[in-house]
Structure 1
Amino acid sequence: MISTESTDKLVSLVVFGEFTLADYKEFEDVVNYRVQFSGPVDLLFDLRQMAGFTLDVAWEEIKFSRQHAGDFRRIAVLTEDQWLTWSAWVSQLFVTAEVKVFDDEDEARAWLAAETTAETTGSAQ
């Protein structure tokens, strides 16, 4: 099961239990909508409560990342699992976004917000 939240420039996803293909498709729909109407977005993946994922989710993630390589600015991954940390690093091969792993949600959100603030301030000059 997942929970998603989105604003103009941020899509947040929390995974509870097993991450299924149906969950991933729901996430894709949210991201596609935001990218279509807002342009590139930041992503926040909270995987701290994820029990696992199905193989088809891994394959879908690779396909989705390749199709949307330039649609993300920054991707923050919340996890304490070393396997998921490695997986986030591998995902960075398919996207132009900066990918960073965190174990603290406040730090992840601050990192994403700092980029948004810097871009807003930089474009005003």
Structure 2
Amino acid sequence: MLSIKQQDDILLVNVIGQFSLDDYKQFEDHVRYLVKQGANVSLLFDFRDMLGYSIDVAWEEIRFAREQIGHFQRVAIVSEGQWVSWLAWMQSLFMPHDFQMFEVYDDAILWLEGQES
């Protein structure tokens, strides 16, 4: 399940349970809408409640991020799991935006707002 909320210039994406390709497509649609409106947003992915995702989601994430180059200011990922952190770091190598991993949600928000924690 996916929850998407917007807080000023930050798009908050919370993944609960299994992260499916349909969930990711929902996220893509939301980002495309914001880009069409001229928004240049920062992203916060909260993976603390995610149980897992399939390779098709990982591949789509790389493809979509490359398509949207220049539309993200910063990307923060909140996760307590070591494997999620490792996969996110690997994918960040293909994406030129400012990227940071966090274990504490509030620290990620502060960083996205430009207030280093």
TM-score over 0.5 for the pair: yes
Tell me if 1:101 matches 2:79: no
**Counterpart of 2:3?**
3
Alpha-carbon distance in 1 for matches of 2:91, 2:70: 13
Among the aligned pairs, what percent are the same residue? 43
Alpha-carbon distance in 2 for matches of 1:95, 1:62: 8
**Counterpart of 1:43?**
43
**Counterpart of 2:15?**
15
Q: Which SS does the other structure have where 2:13 is aligned?
A: strand
Greater share of residues in strand: 2
Letter of the structure 2 residue corresponding to residue 29 of structure 1: D
Q: Which SS does the other structure have where 1:62 is aligned?
A: helix
Give 1:8 deviation, angstroms. 5.0
Structure ID, larger Rg: 1
Tell me if 1:86 matches 2:100: no
**Between 60-69 and 89-98, the greater mean CA deviation after superposition:** 89-98
How many residues were matched structurally?
115
Letter of the structure 2 residue corresponding to residue 83 of structure 1: W
Q: Which SS does the other structure have where 2:95 is aligned?
A: coil
Letter of the structure 2 residue corresponding to residue 105 of structure 1: Y
Alpha-carbon distance in 1 for matches of 2:35, 2:89: 23
**Counterpart of 1:72?**
72
The change in CA–CA distance for 1:36 and 1:8 in structure 2 (over 3 A counts) is farther
Give 1:95 deviation, angstroms. 2.0
Give 1:94 deviation, angstroms. 2.4
Give 1:38 deviation, angstroms. 3.3
TM-score after normalising by structure 2: 0.91
4+ residue runs over 6 A deviation = none
**Between 54-63 and 85-94, the greater mean CA deviation after superposition:** 85-94
Alpha-carbon distance in 1 for matches of 2:13, 2:6: 9
